[in-house]
Amino acid sequence: MELKVVGHRVKRYDGLAHVSGETRFVDDVIIPGTLTVKALRSPVSKGLVRGLDTSAAEAMPGVAGVITAADVPCNAYGMVPEQPVLVAEAIRYKGEPIAAVAAVDEDTALEAVTRIRLDIEEQEPVLDPLEAMKPDAPKVRPEGNVYMYGQRPFRQIVFGDVQTGFKEADLIVENEYFHPSMEHAQLEPQVSLAVPEASGRLTIHTVSQALYFHLGMLCGILQMEPNDIRCQAWAARTGSAWRHNAGFSDLNLAGGTVGGGFGAKNDLHADHVTALLALKTGRPCKWRWTREEEQLYSTYRGAWRMTIKDGVKKDGRIVARQMKSIRDAGSYTSLNAYVVDKHCFLAAGPYFIPNVYVQGYCVYTNKPPASSMRGFGVTPTTFATEVQMNRIAAELGLDPWEIRFRNAFRLGELTPTGRVVSSAALVEVLQKLAAQAGVDLPADLKALTSARKGEAS
Amino acid sequence: MYSIELKVNGRPYSVMVDLKTTLLEVLRDKLFITSPKVGCNTGDCGACSVLLDGRLVRSCITNALTAAGREVTTVEGLARPGEIHPLQRAFHEHYAAQCGFCTPGMILAAKALLDENPEPTRDQVREALSGNLCRCTGYVKIVDAVMAAAQEMAGAGALKAGRG
């Protein structure tokens, strides 16, 4: 078969626009009369809003509108609909938005934010997930500091029986791994431009990486009708409530041009705020986060603490793996629960381990919500499990290449979640890598294939 | 407010600025030339890079008054009708632009280098682009593109010299 794309160089459809400066990112959409948005953010990590007076800010010349929690039709959103757009009472992280201002220019908006009177009763935060898991820890949220997977406070993966596996093992290798939090550091910060159209429709120019997720969430927050049936299904699944009107669609997301995402734009950051201000003022509203806001308050890859206990045979085969991982999720679920899921599903990596037991905890702390970042939790899994492979090899006096060949998935084997591996290629990938790295593998490893064990290749 | 005159991509403009207006604000907010980006607004990422009298500057930390009477070049000014600049073509053909946000600044940093040093080594290219951050590519393809453009431009120069 002649392939038209695979094996050929295909020019990017947007490449010429990128090199000529013609690509129009959200901040490059410039509409006369657009108001500049700035937010009042919490100065403390935990506390209660006891007083909020926006009258002085609203009275300032040049200020077109100020919004607080009272202006949000449905002040709870997310995969688990729980995160407020603007804090009503309980502050859960430093930098959490409490109010937002739309003004004629940036200076006026910044000045107006300083004129909002805010009284906070500061509370003791919990910032370390291990502390947060203790029964007497301060509560990030009233329902507890650990996300509940059904009846369990952790995602559980059970495959075979690890205790039996440990008994069969010649050696136990146990290590603890720590993966720090990371900021995506995409070049384009969070930007949103909401434009009320003459038709009554609201158009939001968005940097979203997840347009349909966000359309559903925004329809819930704004109590508007989504303009696509798939979003209604999504809103229903996420529990968002929205007013359903037959007839004209109210909300239009204009997106797809993203100046780098890496997972930083899978969560709503600014679109809900600009939308509310645009509806309140009747004017286009643009909010561009500063780099400082992006670094401090946007989502990020949460930190992980991972313990791996492996039972291994002298020939390098891993016969049992017990893994316990703790994810610092920050203050809201955002995509953390799914991040922990994927982390746990991949606990064996590309290796066949007959007995696996995994516990993945998603723990809340008084930090900005962590969320997705490149790999949804799998990157820390891979970091920990691959370092573990090297440590096992060192303890057994084996070559780090060899131990990977000994454990590599073969066709037909099972993953810890019970899936049949129908496409295995690690053996071949390792052989190719070794060749490119100039590593001369022993003849028996060169002869291996991903075919089923016991089958001639 | 002060009235200043400056040239951008060969065209003269007169704009009103105050003491804290940046060159980036003049370009984006007053002239609607949007290829210089607001990435950090603190002079760290290079997405706002432009050429000021041929020299690479970060326009977000360049006071607009210092541009008075001078000539600014943005990536919009590189192409001629029907003919894009060799650097633009090389960035396109070598996949040096992914999300595209850093690309305009990156191309101008490369142009500033090639104007001064038409035959740079890969290390010299990396050094010259070190003030421009890219989060997508890992830089290898960007260096490939600059080297390819340098080669093409040197070839064109040799051809011209031969004809001359």
Q: Where residue B130 sits, what CATH number does that domain have?
A: 1.10.150.120
Give B22's contacts in chain A (Cβ within 8 Å): none
CB contact (8 A) between residue B97 and residue A12:
yes
* Contacting A residues, span 436-455, partner chain B, CB-CB under 8 Å: none
Instruction: Round to whole Å and give the CA distance between B18 and A313.
Output: 74
Q: Both B68 and B94 in a single domain?
A: no
pLDDT at residue number B41: 97
CB contact (8 A) between residue A21 and residue B75:
yes
Q: Both B116 and B59 in a single domain?
A: no
A19, A185, A291 member nearest B135 (Cβ): A185
| CB of A36 closer than 8 Å to CB of A103 | yes
Give A21's contacts in chain B (Cβ within 8 Å): 34-35, 74-76, 104
Choosing from B54, B77, B100, the residue where a domain stops is B77
Contacts (Cβ under 8 Å, ≥6 apart) of A274: A37, A192, A193, A194, A204, A285, A286, A287
* Contacting A residues, span 17-56, partner chain B, CB-CB under 8 Å: 17-21, 23-25, 27-28, 30
- Contacts A–B by Cβ distance under 8 A: 94
- The residues spanned by each domain of chain A are 132-182+300-407
Choosing from B22, B49, B77, the residue where a domain stops is B77
Q: Both B10 and B54 in a single domain?
A: yes
Give B136's contacts in chain A (Cβ within 8 Å): 260
pLDDT at residue number A199: 73
Mean pLDDT of A23-32: 97
Choosing from B77, B99, B116, the residue where a domain stops is B77
Q: Where residue B58 sits, what CATH number does that domain have?
A: 3.10.20.30
Mean pLDDT of A256-280: 96
CB contact (8 A) between residue A19 and residue B101:
no
In which domain, by residue range, is B72 found?
2-77
Instruction: Round to whole Å and give the CA distance between A152 and A147.
Output: 9
Nearest CA in chain B to A288: B38
Question: For B91-147, what is each residue's pLDDT tens digit?
Answer: 999 999 999 999 999 999 999 999 999 999 999 999 999 999 999 999 999 999 999
Q: Both B31 and B53 in a single domain?
A: yes
Q: Both B38 and B8 in a single domain?
A: yes
Q: Both B97 and B57 in a single domain?
A: no
Question: For A365-390, what is each residue's pLDDT tens digit?
Answer: 999 999 999 999 999 999 999 999 99
Q: Both B41 and B91 in a single domain?
A: no
Q: Indicate the number of domains in chain B.
A: 2
Its pTM surpasses 0.95: no
Question: For A1-18, what is each residue's pLDDT tens digit?
Answer: 789 889 998 999 999 999
Q: Distance, in angstroms, between B92 CA and closest chain A CA?
A: 5
Instruction: Round to whole Å and give the CA distance between A242 and A73.
Output: 10
Q: Both B41 and B108 in a single domain?
A: no
Pick the CATH number of A132-182+300-407 from 3.10.20.30, 3.40.50.720, 3.30.365.10, 3.40.50.2300: 3.30.365.10
- The runs of H, that is alpha helices, within A200-335 are 211-222, 229-237, 271-281, 291-297
Q: Both B104 and B63 in a single domain?
A: no
CA–CA distance from A93 to each of A98, A122, A338 (Å)? 11, 11, 21
Mean pLDDT over all residues of chain B? 94
- For tokens 């290079």, the residue is B46
CB contact (8 A) between residue A11 and residue B92:
yes
Nearest CA in chain B to A22: B35
pLDDT at residue number A200: 76
CB contact (8 A) between residue A259 and residue B37:
yes
Q: Both B159 and B93 in a single domain?
A: yes
Answer whether residue A228 shows pLDDT above 80: no
Answer whether residue A239 shows pLDDT above 80: no
Which of the residues B85, B135, B144 would you substitute to probe the A interface, choosing the one with the greatest number of A C-beta atoms within 10 Å? B135
Interstrand relation of B49-52 and B71-73 (parallel, antiparallel or unpaired)? antiparallel
Nearest CA in chain A to B32: A30
Mean pLDDT of A228-243: 46
Which of the residues B83, B84, B101, B136 would you substitute to probe the A interface, choosing the one with the greatest number of A C-beta atoms within 10 Å? B101
Q: What are phi and psi of B33, to 5 degrees?
A: -95, 105
Answer whether residue A221 shows pLDDT above 70: yes
Interstrand relation of A155-159 and A304-312 (parallel, antiparallel or unpaired)? unpaired
Q: Both B99 and B157 in a single domain?
A: yes
